[in-house]
Amino acid sequence: MVQDRSSVPRPTQVGLFVTCLVNLMRPSVGLAAIELLEQAGCVVEVPPGQSCCGQPGYNSGDIENSRKLARQVIAAFEAFDYVVVPSGSCAGMIAHHYPNSLFEGDPDWAQRARNLGAKTFELMSFLTDVMNFVPEQPLYDLSERHVTYHDSCCGLREMKVKEQPRQLLKKICNIDIDEMEETEECCGFGGSFSAKMPQISARLADNKIENAEATGADLLLGGDLGCLLHLSGRLRRQGKTLKVHHAAEILAGQINGPAIGEIVEEEQ
């Protein structure tokens, strides 16, 4: 009997917005995101026409160049069912700032921005809230590791990401988070903030590291690479051993890979 193809649900088509930092500094996060999305049943594509989301210029007041970048992103992604981003800050730029403020006075692009923003999700939120990706049994048992988690500002406040990564880490890796004090406080990165106000930025990072270490954790996770690069850099300068990973890497089984900022000597 020939199956009626019209009755077969079409797989969810996802465009992965890789982000500049992942592309340049930590490609393993992008590869982990693809693996997780495919495990959840999605067909994933990384459009070659994507660019920076425009957030650095937007935050610095360069609205015109931010619009140019945003138009390029919209054109590259608007045909997909969903746009998924392994970063709360870039996801927030596309989901909120594109439609709410970037295209004032340009109704055509404003509507296209609203359409794209409505289907843009941070990775952890998409896996849980949209795809309901919850394995029946843990894929990895990391219950013996002591893990704490940093909630990034944009992921938490703009994209409403809080319980989703904790749920995934428990269901996939059997990890119970050792929650730190002030986990929702800024780590001090804040994009250009860390360059404009380095002393305040460093102090905020030190507070975050102190709270993370107080939990006894040997692994610090988060969902925004900017925050994680900032914290890992500060840890290295202080000669500390706390390892830093993007949560997607751990969820994809990359626990034995080098931590962010870790220098791995090649075998001779």
This prediction has a pTM of: 0.92
Which is more confidently placed, 218 or 191?
Answer: 218
CATH number at residue 168: 3.40.50.11810
In the predicted model, is pLDDT for residue 219 greater than 70? Answer: yes
159-207 pLDDT tens trace: 999 999 999 999 999 999 999 999 999 998 876 766 677 788 889 999 9
In the predicted model, is pLDDT for residue 6 greater than 60? Answer: no
Q: Using 50, 70 and 90 to split pLDDT, how confident is the model at 8?
A: low
Q: How many domains does the chain have?
A: 2
In the predicted model, is pLDDT for residue 267 greater than 80? Answer: no
In a domain, 268, yes or no: no
Q: Using 50, 70 and 90 to split pLDDT, how confident is the model at 137?
A: confident
Mean pLDDT of the chain: 92
Which is more confidently placed, 241 or 2?
Answer: 241
Q: Based on the domain organization, do 17 and 122 belong to the same domain?
A: yes
Q: Based on the domain organization, do 152 and 243 belong to the same domain?
A: yes
The 3-state secondary structure of the chain, one letter per residue: CCCCHHHCCCCEEEEECCCHHHHHHCHHHHHHHHHHHHHCCEEEECCCCCCCCCHHHHHCCCHHHHHHHHHHHHHHHCCCCEEEECCHHHHHHHHHHHHHHHCCCCHHHHHHHHHHHHCEEEHHHHHHHHCCCCCCCCCCCCCCCCEEEECCHHHHHCCCCCHHHHHHHHHHHCCCECCCCCCCCCCCCCCCHHHHCHHHHHHHHHHHHHHHHHCCCCEEEECCHHHHHHHHHHHHHCCCCCEEEEHHHHHCCCCCCCCCCCCCCCCC
In the predicted model, is pLDDT for residue 7 greater than 60? Answer: no
Question: Would you state the pLDDT for residue 264?
Answer: 61
Q: Based on the domain organization, do 104 and 176 belong to the same domain?
A: no
In the predicted model, is pLDDT for residue 34 greater than 70? Answer: yes
What domain range is 187 assigned to? 135-251
Q: Based on the domain organization, do 19 and 124 belong to the same domain?
A: yes
